[in-house]
Amino acid sequence: MAKQGTLKLTEGSIKKQILLFAWPILLSNIFQQLYNITNSMIVGNYISKTALSAVSATNSICNVYNFLFYGLGTGAGIVVATYFGAQDEKNIKQAIDTSLTFAIGGGILLTILSELCIPFLLQVTNVNADLYAMAQSYLRVYFLGNTAVFMYQMGFFILRSLGDSKHPLYFLILSSVINLVLGIFFVRVMNLSVMGTALATIIAQFVVDFFCLRLLFNLDKNIRFDIKNIQFHWDTAKRICSLGIPAGIQNMMIAISSMMVQSYINAFPNEIIAGIGVAERVAVFAQIPMSSISTVTINMVSQNMGAQKYERAQETVKLSIRMSNIVTLVCCIAVFLTSEFWVQLFNKDPLVVKSGSDMIRFMVFSFIPLGWSHVYHGAIRGSGNVKVPMLNAIMSQCVARFLFVFIGLQIFYDVRILYVSGAVGFTLAGIFASLYFKYSSWTKQVGLRS
């Protein structure tokens, strides 16, 4: 099999492989978050505080779809990486073809369904009457890009499963620049308000899809995506879904839980809504290292499991945990100390800045145990078990967080309950994941630990 554009993660120094594979993913995640916050920064600075609140109020709705696509992309990546580790070219091609075909068809279907469901989604999240029109306009345009987002996630996970973490980085940089330039143009020059930022996002994603597909067309001839010779297999699709849907359900449940929590947030003044929305976008930068290392863990464990190199997979998990702890701690301290500065980049209203920076400080250090969850769950998923991570996430980040908010606000109606709720869910997720990985018979049986 040709090695151009790919990297075998089953050979060489594990530490070196993690670092070589991780840094493009780390930069990619930074640009991904810059990409995500661009719309909020543009509307907060160039439109109004109300527009920022409206876009912030739709964050959890958009995440329902984004997390579903991310989960299915994860499933596709695990399948491709396992076959790549085993050097099974026939099944690699089938997995790539099936994943991309599924993304196109599923994206179109979800675009239609989501457009029909916008009134329901806005009602569920209890969007204020004065924000409703802007939020609806933003979602009407944003959802037109569902197919592009689905393709985007599938393409990126496929490339990373083949050991190529650099091209997704290049594509994200391009996408971020396009989104920023077009967003400012549509808002400042064309006066399209929040619809302009959503339109910029769609265009940027379709441009990146073009380049991603072009690269997949030019892989080794035995595995490349070829429109004239698409090998869609239902069995492969079922396997991708069996791995991806639980991850998608997990992420969707987290997003739905966030929507339910958002309904409580939306009962507070618009400045607090905006501040919390900004805090969520800023604080996620402290999660970038763990997210990047988790992606490396999934791909390295998947490839090594496919190659039956179990000790190498075990060492990967140990090194990943250490790296996640150290780098996440540094990022948490940095974000904690500079929280007000980052929030002010979105809006300088004193209440927006105070609520945003307060929330960041309350929850940021819970990202360390969240990192344990990311890495251990990445290893478990890479070994083919997606149900345990799903159940853990649902119980800790959905059920426990919502109950904390629901009961807490009944006892003590204060916005700080909302600030702390995320930290509670993240901490529990890390504890549960650590206990399962270290003490379950399954992780020992499959070779994840000795």
Task: Please give the C-alpha separations between residue 19 and each of 40, 143, 261, in angstroms, as whole numbers.
Answer: 32, 36, 37
Compute the distance between CA of residue 413 and CA of residue 407 in angstroms, rounded to an integer.
Answer: 10
Torsion on CA atoms 118, 124, 127, 133, rounded to nearest 10: 20
User: What's the pTM?
Assistant: 0.71
Question: What's residue 4's pLDDT?
Answer: 47
Mean pLDDT of the region 7-33: 78
Mean pLDDT of the region 179-206: 88
Question: What's residue 291's pLDDT?
Answer: 83
pLDDT 10s digits, 355-392: 989 999 998 999 999 999 999 998 998 888 878 888 88
Share of the chain above pLDDT 90, in %: 16
Q: DSSP H helical segments within 47-165, as ranges?
A: 49-57, 59-85, 89-124, 129-142, 146-161
Mean pLDDT of the chain, nearest integer = 84
Compute the distance between CA of residue 154 and CA of residue 145 in angstroms, rounded to an integer.
Answer: 14
Of residues 160 and 432, the one with the higher pLDDT is 432
CB burial of residue 119 (10 Å; 0-12, 13-18, 19+):
exposed
Q: Which of 268-272, 414-418, 425-429 has the highest mean pLDDT?
A: 425-429
Question: What's residue 6's pLDDT?
Answer: 58
Question: What's residue 3's pLDDT?
Answer: 46
pLDDT at 131 over 80: yes
Residue type, 87: Q
Of residues 2 and 122, the one with the higher pLDDT is 122
Share of the chain above pLDDT 70, in %: 97
Structure confidence at residue 329 as a pLDDT band (50, 70, 90): very high
Question: What's residue 13's pLDDT?
Answer: 83
Which residue's structure tokens are 């143009």? Answer: 185
pLDDT at 73 over 90: no
